[in-house]
Amino acid sequence: MTTVGYGDFYPMTYLGRSIGVTACYLGTFLISLAIVSLTISLEFEPTQARAYKNAIRYHQKSLNRKYAATLIQACYKYRFYMSKNHDVSLRTKAEKTYFIKKAIKNFKDQRLRIREMEFTLRTDEMYQQINDKINSDFDKLVIDSKVITNCEELFRLVEKKQNNISAMVNEIMEIGEEARLKIDDFKDEQFIDQYLSVY
């Protein structure tokens, strides 16, 4: 419906229009689903990402060794050539030093690439460590919240039992008070009986 053009062809009935709208939504959903699945399939897993980073690191370091060896060879060849040929023109010297300058430039560029790569790898590793720490802290918070809710339930139960115990203690105290009063009344009656029997 959306790819026909300027409305040259369009559905005339409500059923056709509803099918067109449904097809648009379904197409949008399927395209977004395809993009998400493609993105997920192209992403590295953490172990794959580490292996890829290590492979890049190894490749860059081997290139660095190659450029360093080229620089050393160029310097050695220049030194050897200059020691054998004392009368060298400026043009020949410039040609020989050009190779040394080119080797130095290549070596410096490679060193810069390695430093940039190590910096980005460090920041990526740092982000990964921060992400892992956040995930572990979040998991600990979830566990702690469960423990806290369990503790709150236990405290409620303990408080309820404590209230029951204090109610029972109050009842026992009341019974004890009633018993003491009865005993006092009984003693008073005995005292009165003894007193009356004496007189």
pLDDT for 195: 63
CB 17 within 8 A of CB 11: yes
Consecutive sets of 10 residues in the chain, 199 residues long: mean pLDDT of each?
A: 60 87 91 91 83 86 90 89 83 86 90 82 76 88 88 90 92 90 77 63
Residue 86 φ then ψ, to 5°: -85, -35
Distance of alpha carbon 170 from alpha carbon 174, whole angstroms: 6
Degrees to nearest 5, angle at CA 72 with 66 and 77: 125
pLDDT for 1: 46
Distance of alpha carbon 89 from alpha carbon 157, whole angstroms: 101
